[in-house]
Amino acid sequence: THEEVETSIYGLCRVAGIGTKTELLFVWRFTWCEVAKRDESMSAIDLSPLASCARLECLHLNDNGFVDEYLGTFPALPRLRELSISGGEMVSLDMRPIKSCCASLEWLSIDGRQLTSLDLMPLASCSRLRVIRLRNLPLTTINLTPLANCSLEDFSMSDCQFETVDLSPLAKHDRLNILAIDNTGLEELDITPLFICENLEHLEIDDDVLVIATLHEILPSVDKQRTPDIALLERRCPKGLEQYLSSIDWM
């Protein structure tokens, strides 16, 4: 269980402070690990010893100012499936180590940074990536094109500051089941590309950003004066879109 693994970490892991340098030495059988800055006197953390953790599947890098240094010493972790990155004070995040070290990555969360830009291109090599969660990021724009090669089933962006988002790259994901884009700062959002995501069942989007005009070609009955034709919704929309659109007050 998660609790047992965490207990094993405290029992078997040795954390040695050498001046202002902290090195983490882990036992090879660890499958889960969370690293956070708990001592203000620390000035660096070296993750390279994690290379010995051949079975490590889950790694959380949380609540500290060393996030960028973490990735700079990121070792090859062939079994890593889940990676969470939060905290940090830099305005950019170099995710290139993910490309070369996380071939098995399935779940990625980036939360609570000061990012003004985020290049997702390294994720183009993560073909097994199923879940991506981007939260609390002061981003004004983001390019989702690199995600076309992933196996997305669950994608969310929330509490950001976007000026524009193009959802077209998500149309390639026939397994996409959950999509949440809320409290992002958008003034409008074209959801037309989502109409071919046949397995989409859960959709969460701020109602006031929906671009009504983009639905006319697909749903001729949609306008600001009446409710969309539910029969058309059933024939042309994935389940999630059908429920979402039929719940909107179009008056």
Long-range contacts of the stretch 216-224 (C-beta < 8 A, 24+): 217/192, 218/192, 219/245, 222/250, 223/250, 224/250, 224/251
- Domains present along the chain, CATH in parentheses: 2-212 (3.80.10.10)
Query: Average pLDDT, stretch 103-119?
Result: 87
| Residues 156-183: tens digit of each pLDDT | 998 888 888 899 998 888 899 998 888 8
Average of per-residue pLDDT across 16-32 = 50
How would residue 123 be classed by pLDDT, with cut points 50, 70 and 90?
Answer: very high
pLDDT of residue 16: 36
Q: Residue 1 has what pLDDT? A: 39
For the segment 85-100, what is each residue's pLDDT rounded down to a tens digit?
A: 887 777 778 888 777 7
Q: CA torsion, points 177, 180, 181, 184, in degrees to nearest 10?
A: -150
- Cα-Cα-Cα-Cα torsion 71, 73, 79, 84, nearest 10 degrees, comes to -30
